[in-house]
Chain A
Amino acid sequence: MEAASATVVPSRRRSEAVREFVSKYGLIAILLVLPVVYGAQDLSDDGNLTRLGNNLVEGLSNGAILALIALGYTLVYGIIELINFAHGEVFMLGSLAAAGLYGTFGLTPQTGTAGLIAGLACILVLAMLTSGTLNVMIERVAYRPLRNAPKLAPLITAVGMSFILQNVGILWIGASQKAVPDLIGSQEQLFEIVGLSISRGTVLAIAVTIPLVFLLTSFVARSRLGKAMRATAQDPEAARLMGINVDTTISLTFLLGGLMAGAAGLITALYQTSIWFFQGFSAGLYAFTAAVMGGIGNIRGAVLGGFIIGIVQGISDNRIGNDWTPAIVFIYLVIIMVFRPQGLIGEETREAG
């Protein structure tokens, strides 16, 4: 979290400053490779950048979803230094719940605008609550009993939880991808800007994400509970001595992360118009990459990283091929973790030390 990372950095030696400079701008340079290469290709082929622009727009909507999921990773890592491996599945189950609620609220593509907005707002809240509650329960069952165990123990239970929840998804909707009604006409063009068509899905993804991120940031920065979270992140023992209920605060962190994942779940169901038990696995790992890229434990970093990875995904899906996207994103993940584990705007953590 911001406050935790804002500790005074002792003056570093010159060589370290050079290394810092090289790793930071080197990372930015590596990130620019894909857009620059394909931008140059477009310019020589078509004489304009429209294709790349459309990839970037698609990347922005992917990025909004990834940013919301990445927030869950970064909040949890910031407070208990655990990679909540099951977080992708929390998002997936939020998505399944949202799609299941379409029928409950009687929403179909024919529903009128007012009814659609009211219904979707209700579903958004319910999907968020589903994921949030689920995340709190996971923490209670799988992580809390292991708080004093060796560090790898909770990570192993996290992986186990992730598999359990994937299979809950299989029992719920079956093992194959399932189409859901396209309520908002997500691929329809809403308006055009400098020759780029902006679809309804993109606008929805951005319009839900930005206020949620704003709310979350101000909650963590301004409220009493947010202050308790930052204190616990900095030093759990001292926070306990100051009268903060550390267990409750950790549960609250999981709740917030889950709420964001639930919102991402609804957006995905609306935007992709299909749901799948396996969607959480890759989305979770991409979002984790995003969180590390921004600097894990850093809220703004997670959002920035989410949009960057979303754009990488958008370009790779369209230009290199869907099948290769995971490999491309994971190569980025390895590069970041090895050469700049503190991310673009983060502090060095204990892990990366």
Chain B
Amino acid sequence: MSRVAKLRHDRRAGVVLAVAFVVAAALMPLFRPPLDGFTNDAILALAYVVMALGLNLVVGFAGLLDLGYVAFYAIGASVTGWWASDFYSSVNGEKGIHIGTSDFVSVLPGIHVNFLLLIVGAIILCAIAGALIGLPTLRLRGDYIAIVTLAFGEIIGRVFANGDELTVFGDNALSNGRQSISPIDQINLPVFGEFDSATDLRPYYWAVLALCLVVLFVNFRLRDSRLGRAWIALREDEVAAASMGVPLVKTKLLSYAAGGAFGGISGVFIGIFLTSVNANAFQFGFSIFILAMVILGGLGSIWGVVLGALALGFVNHWFIPDVLDGETVRGWLDSLGLEFTFSEVTFGVFGFILVLMMVLRPEGLLPERRHQLELAEAAGAPEEPVSVTYEARA
């Protein structure tokens, strides 16, 4: 078989595999009860896929290490708190504002906006926030970018955690502080009607699966677009990319904005699905949780990131609480005299994954070929710091 024919054959095999995987995933909940622990975990894992794919645009494609990704989760989730709950119960003379809501919701006080509009709102807000966070990092490189984004993530987390002291538009608080905003409206879609997570999780599962497929499609198209190629060029060599005519400012800001928008979409979904928004969740650890998914799967590799997000989603919501802290393992630990639960040290597990992957297999589980080559090149030919230093200073 010629090389081209083999590539085409491989690609067709890949497509068949992907379609089979999606069909199997779509049929899965039919074989489970409507309210099922496994479906619940799968919904959250798929929501993390959306988020990890967003972070992958920034870290994997453009090579800008963003340690403050939790900011977009915070904004996305807060959008549901602001516009899909009775948090602002005093608006419009306590009658509330309702846009595209179900009959049940349309009599409640507060602002209530349809799910699809919430997504649009979160995309706009997060894209703006992403560009604003990206703006100060334009002059910086490498680990300084990481620290500035980390600082922004922490600042935004703090603002929401202390948001009950801040007022916006009159005397309305920005957030409910350390208390959660709850309940959040259920998803209400034009044809499918209103979902109810208390009786049937399947609609949520299919909704997030559809969201994932859309985001995956957008990711593939972005990667192969002019912009995606510009991001990858930026990652490989910023100076070379700039001299080839890649506009650095625009390209970088678009990467932050696009990455942020996906984080916001996922934040909206998670906020609605958990029916509460709590600022205590907006912590640095969450950024690392998502970053670990990207690293585990393989920086820049879309299928790798999907795998990494699903894997860590299930590790977080099923493997650690149900298996490691389940009765069997508990029994072994008790017989050894060890008194701790794995749930306490969840983030230690993610930290361990980061170190292990970076030291043993930095290209990830399903590596992207181009990134693998870059790593091999870097390991083979150490750069010469001497010349770089003096050129930079001259």
Which residues in A have some Cβ–Cβ distance to B below 8 Å?
A: 7, 10, 82-83, 141-142, 145-146, 148-157, 159-164, 166-168, 170-171, 175, 235-238, 281, 285, 288, 321, 323-324, 326-327, 330-331, 333-334, 337-338, 341, 348, 350-353
* Candidates A238, A281, A331, A337; contact of B155 at CB < 8 Å: A331
* Candidates B162, B285, B291; contact of A323 at CB < 8 Å: B162
* Cβ < 8 Å to A, chain B residues 105-164: 136-137, 139-144, 146-148, 150-152, 154-155, 158-159, 161-162
Could you tell me if A167 and B359 are in contact, using CB atoms closer than 8 angstroms?
no
Could you tell me if B148 and A337 are in contact, using CB atoms closer than 8 angstroms?
yes
Could you tell me if A164 and B348 are in contact, using CB atoms closer than 8 angstroms?
yes
Check if B103 is an interface residue, CB within 8 A of chain A: no
Q: List 24 A-B contacts (CB under 8 A).
A: A7-B393, A83-B147, A141-B359, A142-B359, A146-B362, A149-B379, A155-B65, A157-B355, A160-B350, A160-B352, A160-B358, A163-B348, A163-B354, A164-B352, A166-B347, A166-B348, A167-B344, A235-B386, A281-B284, A285-B154, A288-B147, A327-B162, A334-B151, A341-B140
* Candidates A149, A151, A167, A334; contact of B345 at CB < 8 Å: A167
- Chain A residues in 8 Å Cβ range of B146: 83, 152, 155
Could you tell me if B359 and A145 are in contact, using CB atoms closer than 8 angstroms?
yes
Interface secondary structure of B, over-half rule: helix
Tell me how far the C-beta of A300 lies from the nearest C-beta in chain B, rounded to whole angstroms: 21
The CA-CA distance from A43 to B359 in the complex, in Å, is: 57
Could you tell me if B362 and A153 are in contact, using CB atoms closer than 8 angstroms?
yes
Check if B5 is an interface residue, CB within 8 A of chain A: no
The CA-CA distance from A153 to B371 in the complex, in Å, is: 13
Q: Which of A160, A334, A337 has the most CB of B within 10 A?
A: A160
- Chain A residues in 8 Å Cβ range of B143: 82-83, 151-152, 155, 351
The CA-CA distance from A64 to B76 in the complex, in Å, is: 40
The CA-CA distance from A159 to B290 in the complex, in Å, is: 13
Could you tell me if A146 and B358 are in contact, using CB atoms closer than 8 angstroms?
yes
Given the contacts A156-B291, A338-B139, A167 and B158 also touching, CB distance less than 8 Å: no
- Chain A residues in 8 Å Cβ range of B340: 171
Q: Which of A148, A149, A152 has the most CB of B within 10 A?
A: A152
Interface string of B354-366 (1 = CB under 8 A from A): 1100110010000
Check if B388 is an interface residue, CB within 8 A of chain A: yes
Could you tell me if A153 and B358 are in contact, using CB atoms closer than 8 angstroms?
yes
Tell me how far the C-beta of A3 lies from the nearest C-beta in chain B, rounded to whole angstroms: 14
Nearest opposing residue in chain A for B379, CB measure: A148
Could you tell me if A159 and B67 are in contact, using CB atoms closer than 8 angstroms?
yes
Could you tell me if B348 and A168 are in contact, using CB atoms closer than 8 angstroms?
yes
* Candidates A7, A237, A331; contact of B385 at CB < 8 Å: A237
Check if B375 is an interface residue, CB within 8 A of chain A: yes
Tell me how far the C-beta of B165 lies from the nearest C-beta in chain A, rounded to whole angstroms: 8
The CA-CA distance from A84 to B145 in the complex, in Å, is: 15
The CA-CA distance from A148 to B362 in the complex, in Å, is: 12
Could you tell me if A162 and B351 are in contact, using CB atoms closer than 8 angstroms?
yes
Could you tell me if A330 and B154 are in contact, using CB atoms closer than 8 angstroms?
yes
The CA-CA distance from A152 to B354 in the complex, in Å, is: 12
- Chain A residues in 8 Å Cβ range of B148: 333-334, 337-338
- Chain A residues in 8 Å Cβ range of B336: none
Given the contacts A151-B142, A236-B385, A160 and B351 also touching, CB distance less than 8 Å: yes
Check if B27 is an interface residue, CB within 8 A of chain A: no
Tell me how far the C-beta of A255 lies from the nearest C-beta in chain B, rounded to whole angstroms: 21
- Chain A residues in 8 Å Cβ range of B159: 327
- Chain A residues in 8 Å Cβ range of B284: 281
- Chain B residues in 8 Å Cβ range of A236: 385
- Chain A residues in 8 Å Cβ range of B137: 338
Tell me how far the C-beta of B63 lies from the nearest C-beta in chain A, rounded to whole angstroms: 8
The CA-CA distance from A151 to B379 in the complex, in Å, is: 11
Check if B218 is an interface residue, CB within 8 A of chain A: no
Tell me how far the C-beta of A55 lies from the nearest C-beta in chain B, rounded to whole angstroms: 20
Could you tell me if A150 and B348 are in contact, using CB atoms closer than 8 angstroms?
no
Check if B288 is an interface residue, CB within 8 A of chain A: yes
The CA-CA distance from A288 to B351 in the complex, in Å, is: 20
* Candidates B285, B355, B386, B388; contact of A164 at CB < 8 Å: B355
Could you tell me if A148 and B359 are in contact, using CB atoms closer than 8 angstroms?
no
Question: Which are the 3 A-B pairs with shortest beta-carbon distances?
Answer: A167-B348, A163-B351, A160-B354
Could you tell me if A157 and B359 are in contact, using CB atoms closer than 8 angstroms?
yes
- Chain A residues in 8 Å Cβ range of B379: 148-149
Check if B295 is an interface residue, CB within 8 A of chain A: yes
Check if B374 is an interface residue, CB within 8 A of chain A: yes
Could you tell me if B350 and A163 are in contact, using CB atoms closer than 8 angstroms?
yes
Check if B353 is an interface residue, CB within 8 A of chain A: yes
Interface string of B361-394 (1 = CB under 8 A from A): 0100000000000110011001011101100111
